[in-house]
Amino acid sequence: MKRLRIRITGVVQGVGFRPFVYGFARARGLAGFVRNSSAGVELEVEGEGIDSFLEAFRSGAPPLSDIVTLETEEIPLEGDREFAILASRDDGESTCIPPDVGTCGDCLGEMKDPADRRFGYPFINCTNCGPRYSITRKVPYDRPNTTMAAFEMCPDCRREYDDPTDRRFHAQPNACDVCGPRTEFVHDDTRLFGKAAVEAAVALLRSGGTVAVKGIGGYHLAVDAENADAVSRLRERKRRSNKAFALMAPDVDCVRRFAVVSDEEEALLLSMQKPVVLLRRRENQSLPEAVAPGVPDLGFMLPYSPLHALLFPGRSSPRLLVMTSGNLSEEPVVKENGAAREKLSQLADAFLHHDREIFMRVDDSVVRRFGNQTIFIRRSRGYVPSVIPLGEDGPQVLACGADLKNTFCLTSGEAAVVSQHIGDMENHETLEFFEETLENLKAVYRITPAAMAHDLHPRYFSTRWALEQNGVEKHGIQHHYAHVGSVMAEAGLKDAVIGVALDGSGYGGDGTVWGGEFLVARRNGFERRAHFRAVPMPGGEAAARNPWQMALSYLADLHGEAAMAAAENSGMTERVGRTAVENVLKIRKNRSLSPLTSGAGRLFESVSSLLGVRDVNTFEGEAAMALEAEAAQGEGGTYPYDIHGSDPAEISFSGAVAALLKDAGSGVSCGRAAARFHNTVSAAVVEMVRRLHNETGIADVVLTGGVFQNRYLLARVIPGLSALGLRPHINARVPANDAGISLGQAFLLRSLL
Ligand SMILES: [Zn+2]
Ligand SMILES: [Zn+2]
Ligand SMILES: [Zn+2]
């Protein structure tokens, strides 16, 4: 007979943990209590056989829970008879908010059951599913602290909420048709509510209309994905580049009609996080080109809120929807009804609103499979704000991230919390989103940063914001060093690594733009040991949008004054115009207009243009992605490259560019030339790393930066390094692109303090 006090931290609130403890203790005849605390969950149990209780406890915990620490302490008996669930106690420590979780099978079943009292109710949820992070204003995660506070539970819902044996026991967003949120459909002068609202939205989608649908973390713009006119109209209205639209399908069978789905990909689609999964499109599917122009992959997700599921009522509905974020081009996704009316009325024909407020906006996450692992393109809804364990204690810091695909990172103790996707920091709205999310996560995790990390780029919004903050120590951390740090943090690499950071651009600090970097990186500093040879970037940032400008720079690099003739031979003059070519070649000679760049992204884009694949990036990375898509499998050829000098050594691909132009001119297919180019870069990376390994003895190699989202490249570099007995590491918890920078900054900053 004894009594234990047990304190548990981790994801233990809002995931059915207390009912689990309650049922578990009662079944074993134990007395005591359980309650939420700000630190997690606290319980006291009294009775016999408590040790076996503890053992079974960990293995039987609810599926959404994640126990980080469990501390026990024996205390005097109190003679309790019953086991009870007590009200929450706020004891001043931090805890976690669970991420938003896709609707569970039980809830979906009830929603489709005409006999159930929640038949057709779009806000059904239980302790195993539903909104969490997006509706929580502060911890502890209890109903009054969520946007559900506005809805008073009806007696039926209250009974479920209070019944420890019920699946909705203390399910904070518990609601029904009688007492909970409801939908509203607005189309011109028509206003409909509840079931009629959803039916009207479906009918409008079926007839080709665009509906702005309020979901979990913000609005989507929805159209019938198989209606070519509707999709093209949406693309025109959004004026959105060629970026692929995300698709929502009612089930995996439907996804399979359009894309190839492996078992692992199916598991990802069905996972509780319900991310957008990038899948290879089937050859003979008939989707309109405007859904995803010129790319081999399609991004699919399954309905993750009950309202989404109701958009697919069966035969009368579109079987596949485009679900793209509801925002004006570069602004954050819209989350409020009023803002939706104001900003989306030019884009949507009608609105499907609801009256449950979204407190935290959070975009859809995007993932893909590579080999036997899942890689993140965007880590947001479903994953944030889950903690990334750092495996060691350390100070509380804030890392502000980079300006493209911004995220920030807060740390406390062993935990790193990386924010959801904030977006490109180029307007006031995005900066506001950054600030409000930061305030929220600081409050939730009770973090007061002792120091702050930022990028070195003086013109980054994030840098300028950091430098304006008072009363906190600030450290600039080089962009590519931070990329490398992100993998060190994830993989727990504490000693020196060879870091290969390939991306579009990052501030180098030496007057050139970096992006093809080989660093020997330690936690307290790095040396730039090699880089891709720098070439002028004619027109600066404009060259990043126009790969043909960068391609001309490579031609000039190769042919000098004969570049004009080379541009003519390659067909570029015809495509972009003689005057444009002449201007760029002129600008290229002016160093103040044409900074030098070693950016790997720029090299890939140039080759894309030289091979006639893409001359323009309508979104970041487009030309390089299209080039990867062209690369023919099974092609083993390579082009010449050259490594010269040391510390830093320079890797020149001039020979490769010359050989590839020759290939293109002599009828070698674009696919083979693209593959040979990829093979060449892979070989150069492996060779450079081999040399650095020989010089330093370091065997841990980090591959990161946006260019390493290229699977063709990864699939060659990783085996190449492994064959040398080295240990390659890639990003597994955060994206390899600039969204991962904040984690790396935070990790490195903690080593500096
Ligand atoms: Zn559920
Ligand atoms: Zn109710
Ligand atoms: Zn970068």
Predicted confidence (pLDDT) per residue in 292-302, tens digit? 998 889 999 99
User: Is-same-fold flag (99-154+171-382; 531-730)?
Assistant: no
- Hey, what amino acid is at 662? K
Note the ligand closest to the C-alpha atom of 179: 2
Rounded to 5 degrees, φ, ψ at 541 are -60, -25
Average of per-residue pLDDT across 623-627: 96
**Any residues with CB less than 8 A from the CB of 404 and at least 6 apart, and which?**
424, 425, 620, 737, 738
pLDDT of residue 351: 98
Is-contact 219 337, C-beta < 8 A? no
In terms of average pLDDT, the best of 55-64, 160-169, 574-583 is: 574-583
Q: What is the mean pLDDT of the chain?
A: 94
More confident residue, 750 or 20: 750
E strand map for 462-575:
473-476, 497-507, 513-522, 525-532, 535-536
Grade residue 20 by pLDDT with cuts at 50, 70 and 90.
Answer: confident
Residue 706 CA: which ligand is closest?
A: 3
* Average pLDDT, integer, range 440-464: 95
CA 223 – ligand 3 centroid, Å: 34
Residue 235 pLDDT > 60 = yes
Question: Whole-angstrom Cα distance, residue 80 to residue 488?
Answer: 49
The sign one gets for the Cα dihedral 304, 307, 313, 317 is: negative
Q: Kindly indicate the confidence band of residue 95, based on its pLDDT and cuts at 50, 70 and 90.
A: low
12 falls in which pLDDT band (50, 70, 90)?
Answer: confident
Smallest-distance ligand from the CA of 118: 2
% residues pLDDT > 90 (the chain): 84
Which residue matches tokens 């506001």? 432
> From ligand 3's centre to the CA of 451, what distance in Å?
22
Contact at 8 Å (CB) between 520 and 692? yes
Specify burial of residue 608 (Cβ count, 10 A radius: 0-12, 13-18, 19+).
buried
Reading the block at residue 214, the tokens are 């309020």
Token output for 471 = 């009363």
482 Cα–ligand 3 center, Å: 9
Say which residues have a Cβ less than 8 Å from residue 358's Cβ, sequence separation at least 6: 134, 135, 147, 214, 216, 217, 218, 335, 336
Residue whose structure tokens are 């399954």: 302
pLDDT at 91 > cutoff 70? no
Please report the pLDDT score of residue 92 as a whole number. 53
Q: How far is the CA of 118 from the centre of ligand 2 (A)?
A: 9
Q: pLDDT by residue (tens digit) across 422-432?
A: 999 999 999 99
CA distance 423 to 429: 10
User: What average pLDDT does range 339-355 have in this prediction?
Assistant: 96
Contact 720, 682 (CB under 8 A): yes
pLDDT for residue 545 is more than 80: yes
Distance 185 CA to ligand 3 centre (A): 42
Query: Which ligand neighbours the alpha carbon of 403 most closely?
Result: 3
* Alpha helices per DSSP H over 285-397: 306-310, 337-344
- Distance (Å) from CA 175 to ligand 2 centroid: 5
Query: Can you tell me the distance from the alpha carbon of 657 to that of 179, in angstroms, rounded to the nearest whole number?
Result: 67
Residue 51: the pLDDT is 81
Q: What's the pTM value of the predicted model, to 2 decimals?
A: 0.93
The yes-or-no verdict on residue 158 having pLDDT over 80 is yes
Task: Write out the two tokens for 194.
Answer: 């509840």
Ligand nearest to the CA of 404: 3
Q: How far is CA 642 from CA 58, 437, 532, 684, in A?
A: 56, 47, 10, 8
What residue ranges in 360-494 does DSSP mark as E strands?
366-370, 373-378, 388-389, 397-399, 409-412, 415-418, 451-454, 473-476
Segment 600-620, tens digit of pLDDT:
999 999 999 999 999 999 999
Q: How far apart are CA 657 and CA 629, in angstroms?
A: 19
At residue 164, the pLDDT reads 80
Distance between Cα 116 and ligand 2 center (Å)? 13
Helices 479-491 & 741-752 angle (0-180, nearest 10)? 80
d(CA 127, ligand 1 centre) in Å: 6
189 C-alpha vs ligand 2 centroid, how far in Å? 30
- What is the domain class of 2-85 according to CATH? alpha beta
- 56 pLDDT above the threshold of 80: no
Spacing, Cα 354 to ligand 2 middle (Å): 16
- Which ligand has an atom closest to residue 128 CA? 1
Top CATH class, 99-154+171-382: alpha beta
pLDDT in tens, 184-206: 999 999 999 999 999 999 999 99
Q: How far apart are CA 167 and CA 57, in angstroms?
A: 19
End-to-end alpha carbon distance in the chain: 48
In the chain, what are the domain boundaries? 2-85, 99-154+171-382, 531-730
Cβ(543)–Cβ(505) below 8 Å? no
pLDDT at 677: 98
Ligand 3 mean position, distance from CA 11 (Å): 31
pLDDT per position as a tens digit, 462-519: 999 999 999 999 999 999 999 999 999 999 999 999 999 999 999 998 989 999 999 9
pLDDT of residue 90: 62
Distance CA 40, CA 729 (A): 33
Question: What's the CA-to-centroid distance between 544 and ligand 3, angstroms?
Answer: 13
Ligand approaching nearest to the C-alpha of 484? 3
**Do the beta carbons of residue 744 and residue 485 sit within 8 Å?**
yes
Tokens in use for 639?
């082009």
Query: Which residue from 545, 531, 548, 543 is spatially nearest to 593, judged by alpha carbons?
Result: 543
CA of 37 to the centre of ligand 3 (A): 39
CATH fold, domain 531-730, is: Nucleotidyltransferase; domain 5 (3.30.420)
- Per the model's pLDDT, the better-predicted residue between 525 and 170 turns out to be 525
pLDDT of residue 598: 97
